[in-house]
Structure 1
Amino acid sequence: MRTDQVWQDRTLVNNFLTGVRGGIPFAIEQINMALNVLEQTGIPVHRVADLGCGDGAIAQAILHRYPNAEVTAIDFSQPMLDQAEHRLAPFGDRVRLLKADLYTADWHSELEPFDAIFSGYCIHHLPDDRKQALYREIYALLHPGGCFLNIEHVASATPWVEELFNDRLIDALYQWNLTQADPLSRAEVAKRYVHRDDKAANILAPVEQQCDWLRAIGFQHVDCYFKFLELAVFGGVKPNA
């Protein structure tokens, strides 16, 4: 049974965007690392897809870095797409918003190939077999030389490491929360934002295992380019024909 339908709830989406997203550790560094990996490929970047685009933060960074690029921002959550539409409005027709469900194999039926495909904190909501199928679909949708980059929540190696991550995440969210108009106590942050409803939608997989899946599909230069406990940037490049 699917658990990711919670992202259709506007209240939950708003709570995440206002209370969690801004406090994620190294969020800017993760996006910059993904963009730097794409730049390293040397491929001309004209068409980019952002899978599970959320409120459009990654798409916005791509459009700033590549002023001649167009981004197709994809999500199945209408509340998230509404937020993305607002954030990305200044980019005009360089942005296409598409409502599509990555849980299904036909999400890309209307799409042409891309030079790069990004995803941010989305694919971990899919079962592992669907993750692998999606990675194959992404590979097929890339131009030769194209790059796939996933900014993702991954599984800890042990429960001890998971507890370490949870503590560091609570610390980061609490420090960020102190900058807000009505700050909460650390205990309140832990209860409200770490032990929240959408955590049931997480189906985490180790980054090493996911990199192995990418290699088996045919991606080159596969690596975890950045990692802080359960936060990782990984991906690979489709070989030139």
Structure 2
Amino acid sequence: MNHVRSTFDATANGYDAQRRKLIPCFDDYYGTAVSLAEAGAAKPRILDLGAGTGLLSSMLLAKHPEAQLTLIDLSDNMLAVAKERFAGQPDIDYVCRDYTSYMEEEAFDLIVSSLSIHHLSDEGKQAVYRNAYANLKPGGIFINADQVLGRTPFIDALYKDDWKRKIEASGLTRAELDAAYERTKIDRMSGLDEQLAWLAQAGFSDAGCVYQSFNFVVMYGRKQEEGSRSE
């Protein structure tokens, strides 16, 4: 985890500016995650795992302006950028720590993550899914916008080749491209099917993939209301 922290500490300041170019499906990808983020409360409690600079949180705040946000990330520098983004905004907590074992006394309406959980081991991912379920209120929603392995080595190579071709034509500088390729060395992607199974095993109902563009996916899970059952 120290390698992950140092990598993102070093890239914090230029992180947001490159997102749209490094994520070819940026608008649909984040747009789907935000569309799914429905809450039954006027002032929903939202937890952003691996929140980074607060990019996804800012989109959720635009949708839920009265939300109470908790941003947790391993990188101090990333959270420093988030604090600048939300300067003067009330009801935002910042937690700098490893979120794989994070538990909170007061449950959340929404738990989200974007482009973070794929840095964890399979065991780490499963622990995060279990804790997310435990940290949600009944009826709460978990959304993970992330990257996954292809079903076969051939399909995974198609994903990687497509991404490389698109970012090479994106206008990023050679140094920015090289830094992006270097960051992929800390990726520990898992398959989509495995992760949907882990979400179901953690207790989530209706665990599914709502959006996919090559290896960019948006996964969804719902914690059932007490006394209800999934059809």
Which TM-score band applies after superposition, normalised by the shorter structure? 0.7 to 0.9
Structure 1 170/111 Cα, relative in aligned 2: closer, same or farther at 3 Å? farther
| Candidates 178, 181, 185, aligned match of 1:192 | 178
What is the rounded CA distance, in whole Å, between the counterparts of 2:31 and 2:194 in structure 1?
Answer: 24
Residue matched to 2:79: 81
Q: Which residue of 2 aligns with 1:117?
A: 111
Whole-angstrom CA distance in 2 between matches of 1:132 and 1:211:
10
Quick check: 1:167 aligned with 2:161?
yes
Match of 1:224 in 2: 209
- Worse-superposed segment, 22-31 or 1-10: 1-10
Confirm or deny that 1:31 pairs with 2:7.
Answer: no
2:208 partner SS? strand
CA 1:67–1:17 in structure 2 vs 1: closer, same or farther (change >3 Å)? closer
Aligned mates of 2:55, 2:75 — CA distance in 1? 15
Matched residue type, 2:181: H
CA distance in 1, matches of 2:159, 2:151: 11
Between Structure 1 and Structure 2, how many residues are aligned?
Answer: 224
Q: Does 1:236 align with 2:221?
A: yes
Distance in 2, matches of 1:7 and 1:115, equals 31
Residues 47 and 124 (structure 1), Cα distance of their counterparts in 2 relative to 1, 3 Å cut: same
CA offset at residue 199 of structure 1? 1.8
Instruction: State the Cα distance separating 1:189 from its structure 2 match.
Output: 7.1
Whole-angstrom CA distance in 2 between matches of 1:217 and 1:8: 29
Query: Could you tell me whether the CA contact under 8 Å between 2:6 and 2:75 is conserved in 1?
Result: no
Deviations 1:187-241 (A, max 9, x none): x479614531x22211111111101111112111111000111110002100101
Match of 1:43 in 2: 40
| CA distance in 2 between partners of 1:122 and 1:49 (Å) | 14
For each residue in 1:80-116, what CA deviation from the matched residue of structure 2 results, as whole angstroms up to 9, or x when unmatched?
10111111225x113221112124x2x33x5521000
TM-score normalized with structure 1 length: 0.84
* Structure 2: 5+ residue stretches without partners: 227-231
In the alignment, structure 1 segments of 5+ residues that lack a partner are 178-182
Matched residues in 2 for 1:160 and 1:55: separation?
34
How does 1:58-207 map onto structure 2 within 5 Å?
58-89=56-87, 92-103=89-100, 105=101, 107-108=102-103, 110-177=104-171, 184=173, 188=174, 192-196=178-182, 198-207=183-192
- 3-state SS, counterpart of residue 170 of structure 2: helix
Give 1:37 shift.
Answer: 2.0
CA RMSD across the alignment: 2.2
Q: Percent identity?
A: 29
Residues in 2 aligned to 1:116 and 1:195: alpha-carbon distance in whole angstroms: 32
Residue in structure 1 matched with residue 229 of structure 2 by the alignment? none
